Structures are given as structure tokens and as C-alpha cells.
Structure 1
């Protein structure tokens, strides 16, 4: 029996900042905080089990919501600290996410749907079908929002824009796939609706932030130019030694 104390959000945050020591910029701080809390709460849940689709959801969420982060070089450090904060490996998350994307590369939606057939036989086969089979045959599968986003990332990779925008067709696809995974489509549907809405809102917030930063930068440049012009006027007003000598004579 494991009597180790359950790790808290404070524990995870301390671990995070032990690995990433630089401050996190403005609107991105909330993204990182929410991901950290979500990953921590899932990691200490007795029914939760890490799987590659969950990893894909975490990686996709991080990459999409951290797009445009400056300095760009800090993003890898932040992701590393996120994974370390829940005592996981960033290499495993990235590797599993890439394997899931590679599994559907060049495929059609029908190809993806075919991977959901006869999942009882696929539980120990490895790869995407093995992951799906494990979920479908698990007695107590703990659904999570990142898992849902991971699943959506695969759908997004193979489905046309028309299907993604057609609510009725999209909902029918979700019901079909979740039916084969043996969990309800309702929670997944709500999570994806919120996720897609948040992506749009965050993109708008990023544009507002860019405009604010550009305006602030222009103000600084204008102040600098005004200061330089004022200094130039002062210099011009000061008589040169030669002029001073002529006046004195």
C-alpha cells in the first residue's frame, strides 16, 4: 500500500518554478496555471491512467495556446517544467503525441473510423489501435478534457473543414466514436465546444495584446525622438567658442 502523501497544487507549483525560473508573460500565465492544475489533479486521481491520446491533448493545448509567446526560447523550458511538476517526462509527452499524429498522417476520415472497429481485439496491440482498445475495454475509464482534445486533434487532422463546421455531422461522428470507446459523447461535445471557442477568444486576446505592445512601442519611440529633438535644439542654442570670442571682442 502506498502511504506517500498526495501531492498538492502548491507542491506542483514549487516543482514547476524549480525548473522554470523566469516569469511567465501576462495572458499566457493563466494558460500555464490551468494546465498545471489540471495535470496535477488528474495525476493524483485513482481512476486516471496516462495514455498517448491524453499526452496529445496536453501537447496540443500547450502548443496552440502558447503560440506567439515571447521569448520563443522559453516555451520548451515552460513545457518541461509543466511535465516535471507532475513528475512526468516531457520527452514521453512529446514522443507519444508525435506517435499519435503519425498514426493518422495521410489518412482519410474513413481510415480513422476503421481504427475504432473491433477494439476488444486491439487492447494490447500497441499504437493508436492499442490505445483505443485499452480505453474501450477498461472497466473504469477516467475521461478527461485533454483526452478529448487529443481525440479531436486526430479528427481535425483527417476531417474536412465542412464536417468540423457542420454541428449535426460533427456531433454524429463524436457519438459514433465515443460509442465504440464506451463513454458518453455529451462531456466530450461540451469540452470541444468550449475548447474551440477558447481558441478563437485567445487568438483575439493575442491580437489585442500585440496592438497594445505595438502602441506602447510607438509611444516609446515617439518619446525618444522628441527627447532627441529637444536635445538637438538645446545644443544648437549654445554658442560655439568661436561665436563667444567674437561677441566678447
Structure 2
């Protein structure tokens, strides 16, 4: 009788347990839901047989993390949280940040139309341009595993290549359609993911604004109480010489 040994696929619980092993400090309650949802999203991709890590996905992870973790306190915990997030889902935080920074820098040197032309070209860059090689590989892969984090990375790149798309919704949507069609991806799916991403960013910004206002009001209240407490102490001392 033969026994078939199958490697155990890591679960979401395994990933979360690993995360809290690497980052042992409590997560600020306002940000906990985002961090845990990101762990789940990255984990499910990591165990998908069609998923392949690439620099645009890395940029999406870095961008989403930085945008949604704005204002996190204590500030120094952010690095530990990001490192633990990558480690718990089979990645390397240094690689994520390095490659994300590299392709972002390369996007600044090209227009969107140049990027689209490069995607459609079969000419190799000889390893000199990670961004172009990554885009070409995606366009040529029939079973590319699209993800929301890839969409965020792509959007960040396009905004770097042409900042006007952030200010002109019509141009933004037209550009996204052209690029996704060149990559043989669904423009509708990407647009839906980015609409949700921008909506969630707006909600987070509003929440942070409310918190800042509440903290400022609390600071003013404490400042007003200090003189009153000092006066009360003086009056007490005068009554009890």
C-alpha cells in the first residue's frame, strides 16, 4: 500500500500567528482591521498556484501600507509591522521596498505612452529596466494572477509617470483602460478595485481628521485645567498655613 504525502498548505491562521510572532507589540485598534485584512489578502495570494510575485505587486503592498498607516503611533512600530507582514506571508520586506522604489524611479523617466509602447514591444531591455521587463512578462503570461494590490501598484506607477491623471478623472480612466488592455487584463475589474481603494482612503483620511480634532480638543481641555488646578492648590494652601 502506497502512501501519498501532501505538503500542508499554510492557513490564514498560520499567517496571522506568524505575524504576531514577529511583531509582538499590540496593534493600534484603529489600524488593526487594515493590517489583518492585508495579511489575509497577501496570504491567499501566496498560496495560489497561479500567483507570481513581481515588483508592481510589491509597490502595491508598500503603497497601500504607507497610505493606510498614516499617522500610526508609535511611529517606530510601523517598520516592525511591515517586516512582520512580509515575513508572515513568505516575503522579504527589504526586497519589497527596494524593488518598489526601483520601478517607481523608472516610471518617472517615461511617459505613459512610452510604457504602453514598451509593453507591446518584444525588444528586451537586457535586465536594465525592471519595470518594462515586469510589464512585458505580465502581458505575455496567459494565466497571470491579477490582484487588487497589483492594481494599486500599477495606479501608483501611472500617477508617477503622468501626475495629471490624478487631477483628471477622464484622462485617468482612459489611461487605465489603455494600459490594462495592453496587459490583457480586465479594465472593468481594475477600475472597480481602484474605485474602492480611493473610497477607503477617503474614509481613512476623514477618520484621521476626526481623531486629530478630538486629540486637539483634549489637549486644550488639559491646558485649561492646569491653571484651575494651580489656583485651587493656592487657595488650599492659604486656608491651611
Normalised by the size of structure 1, how large is the TM-score?
Answer: 0.87
Cα distance, 1:213–1:13 mapped onto 2, change above 3 Å: same
Q: How many residues are treated as equivalent by the alignment? A: 237
Superimposed CA distance per residue, residues 77-97 of structure 1 (whole angstroms, 9 cap, x where no aligned partner): 110110111121101111110
Is 1:99 aligned to residue 102 of structure 2?
A: yes
- The residue correspondences of 1:56-71 to structure 2 (distance < 5 A) are 56-71=59-74
Of structures 1 and 2, the larger Rg is shown by 1
Equivalent residue number for residue 198 of structure 2: 196
Secondary structure of residue in 2 paired with 1:34: helix
Residues of 1 paired with 2:107 and 2:201: CA distance?
23
- The residue correspondences of 1:154-173 to structure 2 (distance < 5 A) are 154-161=157-164, 163-173=165-175
- The residue correspondences of 1:11-30 to structure 2 (distance < 5 A) are 11-30=14-33
Cα distance, 1:229–1:11 mapped onto 2, change above 3 Å: farther
Deviates more, 1:90-99 or 1:21-30: 21-30
Q: Which ranges of structure 2 fall in alignment gaps of 5 or more residues?
A: none
Shift, 1:122, TM fit: 4.2
Equivalent residue number for residue 242 of structure 1: none
Cα distance, 1:117–1:178 mapped onto 2, change above 3 Å: same
CA RMSD of aligned residues (A): 2.1
Q: Which ranges of structure 1 fall in alignment gaps of 5 or more residues?
A: 240-249
Contact 2:46 2:90 in 1 (8 A): no
Superimposed CA distance per residue, residues 10-63 of structure 1 (whole angstroms, 9 cap, x where no aligned partner): 111111111111111132112211111110111111111111100000000001
Contact 2:115 2:132 in 1 (8 A): no
Residues of 1 paired with 2:123 and 2:167: CA distance?
33
Equivalent residue number for residue 187 of structure 1: 189
1:206 is aligned, of 205, 208, 213, to 208
Residues of 1 paired with 2:5 and 2:56: CA distance?
27
Contact 1:148 1:188 in 2 (8 A): yes
Secondary structure of residue in 1 paired with 2:44: helix
Is 1:145 aligned to residue 148 of structure 2?
A: yes
Shift, 1:222, TM fit: 3.7
Deviates more, 1:203-212 or 1:1-10: 1-10
